[in-house]
Amino acid sequence: MKNNEPSPLPSNESAVLHRSLKSLPHNVTSASGSYLTLDNGCKILDACGGAAVAVIGHGNAEVMHAAVAQMREYTTSAAERLAKCILEPLPSSTYFDHGLTKVYLVGSGSEANDAALKCAKQYWFEQGEPQRKVYVTREQAYHGGTIGAMSISAFVNRLVLEIEQVFERVGAKNTISFSGESVSGAALGSMLAPQGYWPAVRALCDKHGILLHLDEVMCGMGRTGTYFAFEQEGIKPDIVTIGKGLGGGFAPISAMIVNDKVLGALRRGTSSFNHGHTFQAHAMCCAIALQVQRIVKRQQLVERCAEMGDKLAKLLDEAFHGAKHVAERRGRGLFQSVEFMLDPRTKTPFSKDIEFGAKIQLATFDLGVAVYPGAGTVDGVVGDHVLVAPPYTVSDEELELTVKALRKAYNEVVWVLF
């Protein structure tokens, strides 16, 4: 072999750099509705849509036609139509005046959050307060994998008093914004803030003149039963970021949305937003996301998500009632988690090396159902959890199959371990 010839890869080696260098992800060969088919012929009921991404299920013909039409026509108008569609409240929404006015479209949740950080910083620059340099966020937060998004992914305690102490410590005059997930997803597993928390945080931000940024990359776009999760908290943010469900898994697309207050400062100042990406407002991604959102709105899938979410919560409560290692079922809409602990009464978690949540996920997968595992620390206690976040089109029967598989997997894992 000559030196300049590429060396052949071993036949079982992937050319893609996956997260794990020890094992390969499954190969999906087709997908339709709530189901994925693997290259070994197994059908998997997708009860988590990757990381809560699939909202209208897989393999949708209307989305495919929208993509083909976009390729044929080549128009940039999809971005405008998508932004209007996102801002237009659902007829069923009781929270019509969300106060959001402009949408900045990018490719991932992390990019949307980075855009939010830069936009908030520019807001203060335009207001003549360039000394503001501090972003405050919550302990155990996850805002993404880019350097900017990661740097706000773990800080200060979530309680309001402690947030105020942080504002006072770093100086409100030095603080740009407070960021948090309206409903915590990836890190904590559909964890709701205590009632009254968000209104208190909003009031605190107003008191100190600090911008409020809500990260709804995972919990937004109808996932909790309202288009924006903050609608159920009775507050209006200054900046919101959305992702995952926006393109429904058919295209990489996310967005940062700002209110009039933020927009006004930019208008009065340099009259621009000093940020940009090669693929921002990508026409194909916008056309696909627009079709996904039209389906969501036309079929009233957000309302359906709320209804099916109640059913899922009830099924999980019934299935795990009295289960020795189940600490809690929590969530809103089709964003539900079950948390496991060695002893829930004394809040004793499983030791980390047991990887209880991951074991439950694997056992559930072996039974033909995909759920999303995780482990997060609440009040110093690490809880393993699995997240169930199926498409809003999920059927009653599919919810029953999911919960049955999850309960069976739990029995199997507990039996093997103890």
Residue closer to ligand PLP (CB basis): 252 or 309: 252
Residues that bind ligand PLP (CB under 6 A): 51, 108-110, 113, 142-145, 181, 185-186, 215, 217-218, 243
Residue closer to ligand PLP (CB basis): 33 or 185: 185
Residue 52's nearest CA partner among 195, 220, 205 is 220
Cβ 183 vs Cβ 229: under 8 Å: yes
In the bound complex, what is the minimum distance in angstroms from residue 252's beta carbon to ligand PLP? 8
Residue closer to ligand PLP (CB basis): 17 or 416: 17
In the bound complex, what is the minimum distance in angstroms from residue 269's beta carbon to ligand PLP? 28
DSSP of 219-263: TTTTTTSSSSGGGGGT---SEEEE-GGGTTTSS--EEEEEEHHHH
Cβ 112 vs Cβ 255: under 8 Å: yes
Residue closer to ligand PLP (CB basis): 218 or 327: 218
In the bound complex, what is the minimum distance in angstroms from residue 391's beta carbon to ligand PLP? 17
In the bound complex, what is the minimum distance in angstroms from residue 19's beta carbon to ligand PLP? 12
Can you read off the two tokens belonging to residue 334? 């089709």
In the bound complex, what is the minimum distance in angstroms from residue 371's beta carbon to ligand PLP? 15
Residue closer to ligand PLP (CB basis): 138 or 143: 143
Cβ 250 vs Cβ 286: under 8 Å: no
Task: Compute and round to an integer the Cα radius of gyration of the chain.
Answer: 22
Residue 417's nearest CA partner among 371, 380, 378, 384 is 384
Cβ 235 vs Cβ 263: under 8 Å: no
In the bound complex, what is the minimum distance in angstroms from residue 189's beta carbon to ligand PLP? 11
Query: By Cβ distance, which residue is nearest to ligand PLP?
Result: 109
Residue closer to ligand PLP (CB basis): 125 or 228: 228
- Rounded Cα distance between 198 and 215, Å, is 13
Residue closer to ligand PLP (CB basis): 51 or 103: 51
In the bound complex, what is the minimum distance in angstroms from residue 5's beta carbon to ligand PLP? 37
Cβ 243 vs Cβ 326: under 8 Å: no
Residue closer to ligand PLP (CB basis): 33 or 243: 243
In the bound complex, what is the minimum distance in angstroms from residue 18's beta carbon to ligand PLP? 15
Number of Cβ atoms within 10 Å of the Cβ of 326: 19
H-run or E-run covering 44: strand 43-46
Q: Identify the three-state secondary structure at position 78.
A: helix
Strands 175-181 and 134-137, by their bridges, are: parallel
Number of Cβ atoms within 10 Å of the Cβ of 197: 17
